[in-house]
Amino acid sequence: MGSVGIFFLSCVPLLKSPSFFLSLESLEEPQSAFEAVAFLATIIIVHESGHFLAAYLQGIHVSKFAVGFGPVLAKFNAKNVKFSIRAFPLGGFVGFPDNNPESDIPVDDENLL
């Protein structure tokens, strides 16, 4: 990683603060554990929002946007997108529609992911 990696990490205000690293030592406290989960959920929301925004800007329809995995705790629909918050905030996903029968792209196209 070297000095270039350290430079980029030092640009992140939270990582620049020594109190952030000191707070990692006391994760035994319930409040600190809650803060760690909230911080992780925030990172996931920002990350998945990037996928959502990239798809939107390219005109790709998104059918689902979720933060967390497991059972759905809360959900709502907006503009044909199903948004949900799930039980375990350890990840998230942006879902795209299943096969479109009207598409002219073959299902076995080697360029599809």
Taking only the tens of pLDDT, the chain with its 113 residues reads 444 444 444 555 554 555 555 555 555 666 777 888 888 889 988 999 999 999 888 888 888 899 888 999 999 998 888 999 998 888 888 888 765 666 666 666 655 55
Residues annotated catalytic, as ranges: 48
**pTM of this prediction?**
0.57
Q: How many CB atoms lie within 10 A of CB 94?
A: 20
Domain ranges of the chain: 14-95
- 8 phi, psi to nearest 5 deg: -65, -40
Eight-class DSSP state of 25: G
Q: How far apart are CA 66 and CA 44, in angstroms?
A: 10
CA dihedral 21, 27, 31, 34 (to 10 degrees): 90
